[in-house]
Amino acid sequence: MKREERKNQAAFNILFILLCLAILLFLLNAPKETTSKLPNDAQHARFQAMKNKKDAEKLCEECHSPQGQVPLQENHPPKFRCLLCHKPR
Ligand code: HEC
Ligand code: HEC
What would the mean pLDDT of 3-13 be, rounded to a whole number?
Answer: 92
**Contact in structure between 84 and 57 (CB atoms under 8 Å):** no
pLDDT above 80 for 1: no
- Ligand having the closest approach to the CA of 59: 1
Half-sphere exposure of 61 (CA within 13 A, CB side): 7
CA–CA separation, 27 and 8 (whole Å)? 29
Which of 51, 69, 36 is CA-nearest to residue 60? Answer: 69
- Ligand 2 atom at shortest distance from the alpha carbon of 63: 35
pTM: 0.85
The alpha carbon of 88 is separated from its chain's Cα centroid by a whole number of angstroms, namely 13
Contacts of 73 (CB under 8 A, 6+ apart): none
How many A from CA of 73 to the centre of ligand 2?
8
Residue 41: the pLDDT is 95
Indicate the domain borders of the chain: 1-30, 45-85
